[in-house]
Amino acid sequence: MSERLPRRSLPPMEHAAELRELCRRAAPSAAPADAVPASVSRVIVEVRLGARTELVTLAADRGRLVVATSEPGGDGPAARAAVAWLAGEPSAERPERAPEAAAEPERPLAERLDELVAAVARSGLGEEAPPAVLDALERLAAHHPASAPAAARWLARLGAALAGSDARQTARALTVALAPDPEHHEPFGGPARALSDRRFVELGRESVDAWGSVPLERRVLLDLDHGELFTESRFGAGHPASVGPCPRLLELGFGTASGALPRDLRAQQYTISTAIPDEIWERVEGHAVSMSSAGTAALSALATAPATSEPLSLVHGPVIEDGHLVDEGGARLPLSEEDPGAVEVLRTLALREPLRWLLVRWTSHGDSLCAVPLAAGHRRGKGWVHVRLR
Amino acid sequence: MSDELVERLRRGPAGDDAALRVRLGVDGPVDDAALGRALVAAVAAAPLALRSEAGAASEARAEPEPAATDVRSLLALACAGTLAERRRSLLRLASLLGGDLPEEDLAEIDEALARARDLDAGYELLVARRALPGAASAEVRAEDAAARALAVRLEVAIGQYWDGQLEGEPLAALAPEELASVALRLREWPAAIAGHVAALVEGTVLDAERRRAWLDAFRHAGDPRLVPAFVTVLGAETRPLVRSAARALARIEDPRVKPALLRAYRRSAQPDERAALAGALGLLGEPAGRAWVRALLSSTETAILEVALGAMATLGLPEDVDRIAPLLAHPSPEVRLRAVRALGRTGDGRALERLRQIGGEGEGALQAEVDEAERVIAARLELRGEAPPAERSRGALATGPRTALGEAGGVGLSARLRAFADWLAGRAWLALGARDRAARCLERAAARHPAWAAPLVALAEGFGPDESAHALTALRRAVERDRAWVERHGARALARVFLRRADESEKAGRSEVARGLLEEVLALDLRRAPSGLRFELERRLGTLRGDGA
């Protein structure tokens, strides 16, 4: 699991004068002897206009004042109040009266996403996510509750990318904001297709970060007839999933699947069995692909849905060399550092027994692809052994 | 160009940057959101590469073998080493037992294994006991045979349960001794059974309370197949579940455990949860939480002191003696007990002095902990080549045999001999299965010799599984007569009968009665009871108290 985004809360700023006075009291009388020389180059001010809140960024650029604001029009009362406050003018402490002092009105998802993108554009990512960006993210999450697993997972991944100042990952996650009507697309919406009379075997299970305090439990199921890998998400009590241990056979009577590759399954009528005959394991091995074709498919899935896709592959048993998966054809791909313990277990296992198949989740590290191992299969005597790695 | 755009996104592209707009193909001045969207689209469009870069670091790690090879040092390590050392030493002893050892070494190992009550190394103890020659391992072999039959039965039942053919969950239907056997031998058993345990703990079918009960039941199983499920609980759940998961994980030797515990420790903010995580890390030799736990030792809250001392039992160093020792005088018995345990793990001679000061005052469970702590410290001192401080002044252990048949005062010799004859007859009838006659003889023996506990213990052992209430009465009478003798010779009966009765009470919905029974028996010195039974008693009590301790 990657680190969760640290939550912050900014101090309440009811009155600019109070804030200025608090700063005066908190400021040290003299700089400590070992202090690094510091100069303020950019100020972000949150201005309340009745029930509305706007962010104003003020910066000095080669002798010129640069003002950027989240309010429509670019030069409204919020920008003027912020400039006045920084200049020390008393008018800053008389914010313009808003017509209605009620709760913040609902705004469409597209506007919230725009607000987030604008905050990133104004503040950048810095060494750690700036408060204005985190605020925009929190507001987005608060007004569009991440009750659906896909949305909760997307928010957590975006939060982690922001916290880690990972510009590439942040950009991929923010492509959600490029859709004309995001509420109808992943991760906030999208069509679900019915599935019936399918047979799956659950190969792996992992717990991944989701927005909020509850992680997402994700199972990986292989469609034994078509070879497609599905996920099944279990996310809190309100989103129950099918029961049973891993591995298991799941005979689906009826269910739905939605989302970007891999598709997320919701089993509504099903039976399960924990006894998995050898011929099923042989079919699992039969669906494994070479590492290079798995990597190519993963790249394609990530290009199609960069914000939400977390591709999975079932690959022919590779060997492990210096933190890399190496297959018979010579393809060589790095293992992710996301879970070093799982990598170590895999390495030890591969030294002891030749792997017959390996289930991986693909993730990006910088600008290249790497694999998170989830489960492996090998033979012992005449039987099959399934090893869950996460 | 792509790197430049990435850098612009990192710095924030806002402002009137005509060059950037041209690069992004944006016409004319636009607002920050539009500029941001254009930049996001450009950076996200950069393709990922299928190329090899530095992969995940993976260091080759050899299994640490104990440095010592002589029997005496291995026995000292098995008593006073870290958990990994204790386990390795026991396995090494098992392999030595397969060779040609001198008689005196065999006798020493046999005695040490019979005395050992290390729940954390329960499986390795089992392996070592199996390797004992001849009759010494007969009991273990008999238990193994019963366990194999249980495993076959259980595997079938588990399959039926998930197929929907069986309504009741199969592990819940087991007797306490059987459950202890499952936990002890799980590592050797089929994957279907381990997978079932993992599914129960992960919790698609059970509530949090029962999941925690299962976590506690399998705390000492040490099966790496359970790691993914326990790690899932560690990241996802409420504090009691996290505490139980941390304790169970720390007892599994697996490379996934330490990173998971460290991650959870860094995230945790609650003192009880954090202390449990720090203690779990300490069991793995990771000192990350030591300074934080030390600070808790100055707390005035009993609950905080309890969790801190629990963690110090794995994190304590010789320099912690002066921090822990004052807590031996704390008014809470639980704090005193945990302080004794933590002092034992410091392995410091000064701790021995402090323990001896309270040793003579201790009774039952506290005295047992004091004795165990002294044994551990003595073994550590021996491993370090140090001499222990001068021997204690008090004569015998408080738990030592105080009363024997021949030394009972106030009963004439002929009465004692007749009591002995009745006791012998009672044992004989028991062996023949004539329980009523046996009961009459044993009651008569008990009546003839009012200070003698042996007939009552034999009487308790003679009652069947459905007569645990009667057995309980007999044992209480025996403890009243001669507690030390019963602790020494009847510990197995005590543990079994009280556990069975508590189980019956709990199933009948009388949890308070069950809890009282467990507290009563655990206040006695049960070191001579089988470790599986003792663990099950502690686990049940922890579950009923709701603290998982």
Q: Does B44 contact A339 at a Cβ distance shorter than 8 Å?
A: no
CA distance A253 to chain B (A): 15
In whole angstroms, what is the distance from residue B283 CA to residue A137 CA? 40
CA distance B326 to chain A (A): 39
How many Cβ atoms are within 10 Å of B495's Cβ, its own excluded? 26
Q: Does B7 contact A74 at a Cβ distance shorter than 8 Å?
A: no
pLDDT of residue B88: 92
How many Cβ atoms are within 10 Å of B538's Cβ, its own excluded? 17
Task: Provide the b/e sequence for B454-484 (b: ≥16 CB within 10 Å).
Answer: bbbbbbbbbbeeeebebbbebbbbbbebbbb
Facing residue for B56 by CB, picked from A121, A335, A385: A335
Give the residue on B whose Cα is nearest the Cα of A71.
B31
> Which residues on chain A are in Cβ contact (under 8 Å) with B35?
121
pLDDT of residue A6: 33
pLDDT of residue A178: 86
Q: Does B12 contact A123 at a Cβ distance shorter than 8 Å?
A: yes
Give the residue from B252, B319, B263 showing the smallest Cα distance to B290.
B319
B139 touches chain A (CB under 8 A): no
Q: Quick check: B195 and A274 in contact, CB under 8 A?
A: yes
- Residues of A numbered 278-317 whose beta carbons fall under 8 angstroms of chain B's beta carbons: which are they? 292, 295-296, 299, 302-303, 306
Residue type, A19: L
Q: For A189-220, how does the pLDDT look when each residue is reduced to its tens digit (9 = 90+)?
A: 888 899 999 999 999 999 998 888 778 899 99
A118 touches chain B (CB under 8 A): yes
Return the residue in A41, A216, A271, A274 with the most chain B beta carbons within 10 A, the one to mutate for interface testing.
A274
Return the minimum-mean-pLDDT range out of A216-225, A283-292, B279-288, B360-369. B360-369
Give the residue on B whose Cα is nearest the Cα of A244.
B199
Q: Does A124 contact B9 at a Cβ distance shorter than 8 Å?
A: yes
Q: Quick check: A258 and A188 in contact, CB under 8 A?
A: no
CATH H superfamily, domain B406-545: Tetratricopeptide repeat domain (1.25.40.10)
For chain B, report the end-to-end CA distance as a whole number of angstroms: 59
Q: Does A367 contact B46 at a Cβ distance shorter than 8 Å?
A: yes
CA distance A370 to chain B (A): 8
Residue B350 CA to its chain's centroid (Å):
27
> Which residues on chain A are in Cβ contact (under 8 Å) with B36?
117-118, 120-121, 174
Q: For B468-505, how does the pLDDT look when each residue is reduced to its tens digit (9 = 90+)?
A: 878 888 888 888 888 888 988 888 889 988 898 888 88
In whole angstroms, what is the distance from residue B76 CA to residue B82 CA? 11
Residue type, B363: E
Q: Does A167 contact B225 at a Cβ distance shorter than 8 Å?
A: no
B52 touches chain A (CB under 8 A): yes
Q: For B355-368, how does the pLDDT look when each residue is reduced to its tens digit (9 = 90+)?
A: 877 765 556 677 87
Give the residue from A346, A338, A355, A335 showing the smallest Cα distance to A389.
A346
Q: Quick check: A217 and A205 in contact, CB under 8 A?
A: yes
Map residue A49 onto helix, strand or coil: strand
**What does the angle CA B34 – CA B37 – CA B40 come to, to the nearest 5 degrees?**
150
Who has greater pLDDT, B525 or A280?
A280
pLDDT of residue B153: 95
Give the residue from B489, B418, B417, B428 showing the smallest Cα distance to B462.
B428
Q: Quick check: B407 and B452 in contact, CB under 8 A?
A: no
pLDDT (mean) for B13-32: 75
In whole angstroms, what is the distance from residue B395 CA to residue B203 CA? 53
Q: DSSP states of A317-360 as a string?
A: --EEETTEEE-TT--EEEBPSS-HHHHHHHHHHHHHS-EEEEEE
**Between the CA of residue B139 and those of B71, B377, B488, what are the distances in Å?**
23, 31, 19
pLDDT greater than 60 at residue B322: yes
Q: Does B58 contact A272 at a Cβ distance shorter than 8 Å?
A: no
CA distance A29 to chain B (A): 32
H helix or E strand, kind and range, residue B538: helix B531-545
Q: Does B9 contact A365 at a Cβ distance shorter than 8 Å?
A: no
Q: Does A322 contact B196 at a Cβ distance shorter than 8 Å?
A: no
In whole angstroms, what is the distance from residue B88 CA to residue A294 CA? 42
Res. B102 pLDDT band, cuts 50 70 90: confident
- Residues of B numbered 142-201 whose beta carbons fall under 8 angstroms of chain A's beta carbons: which are they? 158-159, 162-164, 191-192, 195-196, 198-199
Overall size of chain A counted in residues: 390
Res. B401 pLDDT band, cuts 50 70 90: very low
Q: Does B195 contact A274 at a Cβ distance shorter than 8 Å?
A: yes
- Domain locations in chain B? 2-44, 71-132, 148-274, 289-390, 406-545
- Residues of A numbered 149-178 whose beta carbons fall under 8 angstroms of chain B's beta carbons: which are they? 165, 167-168, 170-172, 174-175, 177-178
pLDDT (mean) for A161-165: 87
Helix segments in B203-329, DSSP class H:
208-217, 227-236, 239-250, 257-267, 271-283, 290-296, 302-315, 321-324
Could you give the percent of chain A with pLDDT greater than 90? Answer: 35
pLDDT greater than 80 at residue B427: yes
Q: Does B48 contact A299 at a Cβ distance shorter than 8 Å?
A: yes
pLDDT of residue A361: 96
Residue A6 CA to its chain's centroid (Å):
14
- Residues of A numbered 97-116 whose beta carbons fall under 8 angstroms of chain B's beta carbons: which are they? 114-115
A365 touches chain B (CB under 8 A): yes
Q: For B247-276, how does the pLDDT look when each residue is reduced to its tens digit (9 = 90+)?
A: 999 999 999 999 999 999 998 888 888 999
Q: Does A344 contact B256 at a Cβ distance shorter than 8 Å?
A: yes
In whole angstroms, what is the distance from residue B146 CA to residue B544 CA? 29
Give the residue on B whose Cα is nearest the Cα of A304.
B45
B106 touches chain A (CB under 8 A): no
pLDDT greater than 90 at residue B100: no
Facing residue for A121 by CB, picked from B35, B50, B259: B35
- Residues of B numbered 411-470 whose beta carbons fall under 8 angstroms of chain A's beta carbons: which are they? none
pLDDT greater than 70 at residue A172: yes
Kindly tell me the burial class for residue B135, based on how many C-beta atoms sit within 10 Å of its own C-beta (0-12, 13-18, 19 or more): exposed
Give the residue from B479, B195, B200, B416 showing the smallest Cα distance to A202.
B195
Q: For A27-58, how does the pLDDT look when each residue is reduced to its tens digit (9 = 90+)?
A: 665 555 555 666 776 777 777 776 566 677 77
Highest-pLDDT range among A171-185, B213-227, B355-369, B425-439 = B213-227
Q: Does A334 contact B41 at a Cβ distance shorter than 8 Å?
A: no
Return the residue in B11, B53, B230 with the most chain A beta carbons within 10 A, the one to mutate for interface testing.
B53
The answer to whether domain B289-390 and domain B406-545 are alike in fold is: no
Give the residue on B whose Cα is nearest the Cα of A111.
B33
Facing residue for B37 by CB, picked from A177, A241, A388: A177
CB-based contacts of A63: which residues, under 8 Å, 6+ apart? none
DSSP B478: H
Return the residue in A122, A337, A361 with the most chain B beta carbons within 10 A, the one to mutate for interface testing.
A122
Q: For B148-165, how does the pLDDT look when each residue is reduced to its tens digit (9 = 90+)?
A: 999 999 999 999 999 889
pLDDT greater than 60 at residue B404: no
Give the residue from A59, A21, A20, A23 showing the smallest Cα distance to A40.
A59
Facing residue for B52 by CB, picked from A68, A306, A333: A333
Q: Locate B367 and state its tokens.
A: 């005295």
Q: For B449-474, how does the pLDDT look when each residue is reduced to its tens digit (9 = 90+)?
A: 888 899 999 988 888 777 887 888 88
Facing residue for B50 by CB, picked from A121, A234, A295: A295
A128 touches chain B (CB under 8 A): no
Q: Quick check: B74 and B66 in contact, CB under 8 A?
A: yes
pLDDT greater than 60 at residue B407: no
pLDDT of residue B52: 54
Q: Does A124 contact B57 at a Cβ distance shorter than 8 Å?
A: no
**3-state DSSP of B377-400:** HHHHHHHCCCCCCCCCCCCCCCCC
H helix or E strand, kind and range, residue A81: helix A77-87
Give the residue on B whose Cα is nearest the Cα of A295.
B50
| Per-state percent for chain B, helix, strand, coil, to nearest 5 | 70, 0, 30
Residue type, B304: I
Q: Which CATH architecture has domain B289-390?
A: Alpha Horseshoe (1.25)
Give the residue on B whose Cα is nearest the Cα of A166.
B10
Kindly tell me the burial class for residue B361, based on how many C-beta atoms sit within 10 Å of its own C-beta (0-12, 13-18, 19 or more): exposed
Torsion sign over Cα B534, B539, B541, B542: positive
Q: Does A175 contact B191 at a Cβ distance shorter than 8 Å?
A: no
Facing residue for A340 by CB, picked from B57, B158, B196: B57
Beta-bridge partners for B431: none
B65 touches chain A (CB under 8 A): no
CA distance B263 to chain A (A): 8
Q: For A302-346, how does the pLDDT look when each residue is reduced to its tens digit (9 = 90+)?
A: 888 888 889 999 999 888 888 889 888 888 888 998 899 999 999
Q: Quick check: B320 and B351 in contact, CB under 8 A?
A: no
Q: Does A337 contact B56 at a Cβ distance shorter than 8 Å?
A: yes
A244 touches chain B (CB under 8 A): yes
In whole angstroms, what is the distance from residue B198 CA to residue B228 CA? 8
Q: For A223-255, how does the pLDDT look when each residue is reduced to its tens digit (9 = 90+)?
A: 999 999 999 998 865 667 899 999 999 999 999
